[in-house]
Structure 1
Amino acid sequence: MGKSLAMYMSLLRVLLRLAGVRSQVVEIEPGTVVHFWAPAENPNKTKIHSQAKRKPAVVFLHGFGFNGISTWQFQMLALAKDYAIYVPDFLFFGGSITDKTERSPAFQAECMAKGLKKLGVEKCTLVGLSYGGMVGFKMAEMYPDLVDSMVVTCSVMALTESITRSALERTGFSSWAEVLIPETFEGVKKIAELCTYKSLAMPDFFYRDIFQDMFINHKKERVKLLEALQVKDKDFYIPHYPQAQRIHLLWGEEDVHFTMEIARNLKDCVFEWSDDEGNSSVNSEDVLEGLQPHPDIRSLTIEGYGGENFSSWILQLNNLTVLRLTGCSKLRQLPTLGCLPRLKILEMSGMPNVKCIGNEFYSSRDSAGVLFPALQILTLSMMYGLEEWMVPGGEVVAVFPCLEKLSIKYCGKLESIPICRLSSLVEFEIESCDELRYVSGEFHGFTSLRFLRIWDCPKLASIPGDFRDLNSLKKLIVNGCKLGALPSGLQCCASLELLSIIYWKELIHSNDLQELSSLRTLLIRGCDKLISIDWHGLRQLRSLVYLEITACPSLRDIPEDDWLGGLTQLQKLIIGGFSEEMEAFPVGVLNSIQHLNLSGSPKFLGIWGWDKLKSVPHQLQHLTALKTLWIMDFKGEEFEEALREWLANLSSLQSI
């Protein structure tokens, strides 16, 4: 440490000691220690004072430029008389260090929280600057019982792609490391200029001392810390914070990195009712009416609301982009949301008394033009009483014109789903809708659809429309339905990479697959009535990597020639569980596998037997390319004896 900085720090330590604050090192776990500036007396050791008489705990979290004492020295001296002040150094700042490889803000938050608890802190207010604000948000999310409230200044929840791009463009830097990990003392001066409202009049030798003391060590680790902060826009989410956990944002109008626009976008509001509050619907409605948020709010979560009706102020939130309604158990009618111009994400779950999605959901007037004009993600879950979903009435130009993801799960009484003209839809998922009989509308024109998953809808008998135009479809997964045929036009889905046909109880024939030239995974499993497959069409699927045909007890018409010979890319094959009337494993299957073995595939083979089979096929002993062999439902001593003899021949086998 340089002389000037050493002299200043010595004086500062004396002043802090007089204020009742001292330096402490806390071992979080073996190999990880965190340095704190903390009250000289541990509250755990103070027996004569009750919790009510203790000073309120305030934790100051520093930014990325300087350590704790350098950032918060003036606040520490000013507030130590009335508050229990705690100022930790983050890992790789000050005296904090770890031998762990984790660099995420969540790990920093965990270490800070554990250190505070070891120092006897049960409840605290966080004050976070910049990087400290990001770690503070994580602490509030992960440890709500510890963090009572939080003040965040000049910070964001994460460095998203868009925030990073705009911030670096404004300041002329190429990376966050260039901004925050200076190579010279002039870089330290630049950080000070960016982080302070008025430039600090300090001589260059003082900046040199700061550079030598704070920026020489742990450069690689700090680069990793910065990398761990950066996330893709699509991966960023706003966590749920209880209403009681107050969060206050402070922002500077001239902040060049995190502008006022970013601050406004951070505004988030969560209304959460306790069980007692939710019991009175009248009281809940009065409370919700009185909690009308600022009209500029961007994100709103309402959880456990006990009212039967929703407040009308929802119609005025024209800047709302995210709305989550969950556990509103007495709500009978969904609020009117179709005219919110900027709503992008809508999630609704746990509303058992909502029986119908009707006109009131879309608009409060007969003619509304475009409804849900910006909505991209719509999720319905655990709407156990929902029976009907209507299309909007009146003169409507379009509904959900921008919808990209639609997810409907655990709506056990819902009988139909309208899907008309969802031309922007990319992902569509239906799961556990026991009474679903049909999907109204057609998939014709869904040119953007890439992922379609229908799971456990036992009464769904057909998928309407023609798949001929689904040029972008990559994954089709249908499990546990009453479908009797593949969707019309499926053979034209040239981009399809995964087709999963599982537990189709009425499927009899599976044909016209040969045109699916991009198909990499094909699963046909548990189709009780399936009697025929286009075996020779399968050999045209030259991109197949994984093929499974199992548990189809009516299937017996299996060719004896080599119908797998063209599948040279095949790496995983699981096959068997055919008709109980067959007394031997199909010769054609075994011949095909042997032929593939000559080209080094497959690496994984699963053979599924049935009761009449007394021995495993002897051809298996020649499959020298196999690395994994899985055998199921073969019985008898002959099988066990043969297997022991053949294992020696399977020279590449790694697991069985």
Structure 2
Amino acid sequence: MPLAIGQLRSLQTLPFFNIGEEAGRQIGQLRSLNNLSGSLEIRNLELVRSKEEAESANLFKKQNINELRLLWNELDNLRENDREYNQLLEGLHPHQNLKGLIIERFFGDQLSTWIGQLKKLVKFELRNCRTCKELPTLGHMPFLKYLHLEGLDNITTIGPSFYGESTVHSGSSSKLFPTLEHLILENMLNLREWVEASDHDGAMEVFPVLNTMRIKRPSLSFLDIPYCKKLTDLPKGKLCSLTSFRSLEIGPFSETTELRSFLDLFDALPQPMHPYLPFIWKLSLVGWPHWESLPDQLQYLSALTYLELDGFGVKSLPDWFGKLSSLELLYLYNCKKLENLPSDQTMRSLTRLRELQIEMCPLLMERCNSESSSSSSTNPVSEWSKISHIPRIIINGQRIRG
């Protein structure tokens, strides 16, 4: 790269700019290059010493730049406090019509508020910003399609501030991340919890068009992936990396998602004596009527106390349910083809099962009616004998026992 490139005021293309300490290579060389277009990558940002120096690049005046990449080097440990880093990033404010933003190895603990003001953003990547304490608010961005979060060691929770308030409305519902199609989380080593957005009136849609999600090496203990009805590309066998799970809620995915794809998601769940996921205690799965089987791997979740199955097309629950020795509550919802529970012997082996709830499962509800099922000899299809020992039974909101 030539010295004093800032003199080329008509320059339109500059794929990258390497900041240097010597005269003619400082970030101020970008000041007058307002005709730049396309993508711009700015490297060695650790050499920029102040917010004022960062502002000298005049990034907000470069209206034809559609993608901006801001790179620091790992070796930068010269600042006395996080505020200096934070202020420097403030000074790199681009124009508000930016389409793509990639930030790598930023060492501050707080991202700039201008990120959330980039209403035209389509792609956002945040990589190896290891001291960053909180994610920016992104749920309101109307055009964001691609989001990649990686190596954010200080992030422990993804919560309501990540979603923000919806500005996109469709009919009577509001949407968060209304156009997001691809979501990638990698190497989030201290991420413990991912909770859903606040929805006070029940009319909120989150990730309505999400179709690809990749999760690699987080330490999540709680994950809720609800109502991603456009999600068809599932992370095959990737649950093996989620070694700290305690609670998992997934579904529904796209109705066009094949059952095999859904089952593949569980390929990495523990086999006997396998170290992964032995302590998960709550599992909620939402399926579709054409999904006529359940993941066999679930039988190895020996610490599971709560299991919810919603919308599956299974006709009979398998006898491996008997291996769920810690199960305390079983909730069956909207499984319209379900006729049979596991065998009588299996159900009675679940000695910790304290509550059974059945709702909108018409075939099973008819067979679990105590009044019409006085004995299996008079009604051979009765399921009542399998559940009569359970202390608390609720069918369609009506308490039958307990």
Q: Does 1:555 align with 2:280?
A: yes
Query: 1:497: Cα distance to partner?
Result: 0.9
Q: Decide whether aligned partners of structure 1 residues 531 and 330 sit closer, same or farther in structure 2, where only a CA change above 3 A counts.
A: farther
Aligned counterparts, 1:89-238, within 5 A: none
Match of 1:492 among 206, 209, 231: 206
Deviations 1:280-307 (A, max 9, x none): xxxxxxxx55xxxxxxxxxxxxxxxxxx
In the alignment, residue 521 of structure 1 is paired with which amino acid? D
Aligned counterparts, 1:371-386, within 5 A: 371-381=61-71, 383-384=73-74, 385=76
Q: Does 1:454 align with 2:166?
A: no
Structure 2 partner of 1:422: 118
Larger radius of gyration: 1
Deviations 1:335-354 (A, max 9, x none): 353653222221133x2742
Question: Does the Cα contact within 8 Å between 2:67 and 2:99 map onto a contact in 1?
Answer: yes
Question: Does the Cα contact within 8 Å between 2:9 and 2:34 map onto a contact in 1?
Answer: no
Query: 1:408: Cα distance to partner?
Result: 2.4
* Matched residue SS, 1:429: strand
Q: Decide whether aligned partners of structure 1 residues 370 and 352 sit closer, same or farther in structure 2, where only a CA change above 3 A counts.
A: closer
Structure 2 partner of 1:402: 97
Structure 2 partner of 1:320: 12
* Matched residue SS, 2:111: strand
In the alignment, residue 533 of structure 1 is paired with which amino acid? L
* Matched residue SS, 1:314: helix
Structure 1 partner of 2:233: 521
Query: 1:430: Cα distance to partner?
Result: 1.8
Match of 1:534 among 249, 255, 272: 249
Q: Decide whether aligned partners of structure 1 residues 323 and 563 sit closer, same or farther in structure 2, where only a CA change above 3 A counts.
A: closer
In the alignment, residue 375 of structure 1 is paired with which amino acid? I
Question: Does the Cα contact within 8 Å between 1:320 and 1:343 map onto a contact in 2?
Answer: yes
Question: Does the Cα contact within 8 Å between 2:127 and 2:150 map onto a contact in 1?
Answer: yes
Give the alignment's Cα RMSD to 1 decimal: 4.6
Q: Decide whether aligned partners of structure 1 residues 510 and 422 sit closer, same or farther in structure 2, where only a CA change above 3 A counts.
A: same
Whole-angstrom distance in 2 between the partners of 1:439 and 1:339: 32
Match of 1:438 among 103, 109, 134: 134
Match of 1:348 among 36, 42, 55: 42
Question: Does the Cα contact within 8 Å between 1:334 and 1:357 map onto a contact in 2?
Answer: no
Structure number with the bigger relative contact order (C-alpha 8 A, sep ≥ 6) is 2
Q: Decide whether aligned partners of structure 1 residues 578 and 438 sit closer, same or farther in structure 2, where only a CA change above 3 A counts.
A: farther
Structure 2 partner of 1:133: none
Deviations 1:487-522 (A, max 9, x none): 6368432111123344442442526x12x2211134
Question: Does the Cα contact within 8 Å between 1:376 and 1:403 map onto a contact in 2?
Answer: yes
TM-score, normalised relative to structure 1? 0.35
In the alignment, residue 446 of structure 1 is paired with which amino acid? M
TM-score, normalised relative to structure 2? 0.53
In the alignment, residue 493 of structure 1 is paired with which amino acid? F
In the alignment, residue 181 of structure 2 is paired with which amino acid? K
| Identity value in percent | 13
* Matched residue SS, 1:521: coil
Whole-angstrom distance in 2 between the partners of 1:341 and 1:327: 18
Deviations 1:227-284 (A, max 9, x none): xxxxxxxxxxxxxxxxxxxxxxxxxxxxxxxxxxxxxxxxxxxx3xxxxxxxxxxxxx
In the alignment, residue 464 of structure 1 is paired with which amino acid? F
Whole-angstrom distance in 2 between the partners of 1:447 and 1:389: 26
Query: 1:414: Cα distance to partner?
Result: 4.0
Deviations 1:376-398 (A, max 9, x none): 111234522286243557xx9x8
Query: 1:579: Cα distance to partner?
Result: 4.3
Question: Does the Cα contact within 8 Å between 2:192 and 2:222 map onto a contact in 1?
Answer: no
Q: Which structure has more helix as a fraction of its residues?
A: 1
Question: Which segments of 5 or more consecutive residues in structure 1 lack a partner in the other structure?
Answer: 1-270, 272-287, 290-310, 597-611, 613-656
In the alignment, residue 317 of structure 1 is paired with which amino acid? R
Structure 2 partner of 1:544: 257
* Matched residue SS, 2:53: helix
Match of 2:185 among 478, 496, 504: 478
Deviations 1:150-175 (A, max 9, x none): xxxxxxxxxxxxxxxxxxxxxxxxxx
Whole-angstrom distance in 2 between the partners of 1:450 and 1:519: 13
In the alignment, residue 494 of structure 1 is paired with which amino acid? P
Q: Decide whether aligned partners of structure 1 residues 359 and 587 sit closer, same or farther in structure 2, where only a CA change above 3 A counts.
A: closer
Aligned length: 271
Query: 1:446: Cα distance to partner?
Result: 1.6
Query: 1:431: Cα distance to partner?
Result: 2.1
Q: Decide whether aligned partners of structure 1 residues 520 and 540 sit closer, same or farther in structure 2, where only a CA change above 3 A counts.
A: closer
Whole-angstrom distance in 2 between the partners of 1:542 and 1:317: 54
Match of 2:27 among 334, 342, 355: 334
Question: Which segments of 5 or more consecutive residues in structure 2 lack a partner in the other structure?
Answer: 167-174, 199-203, 270-275, 317-324, 326-402
Whole-angstrom distance in 2 between the partners of 1:322 and 1:574: 54
Match of 2:289 among 548, 566, 570: 566
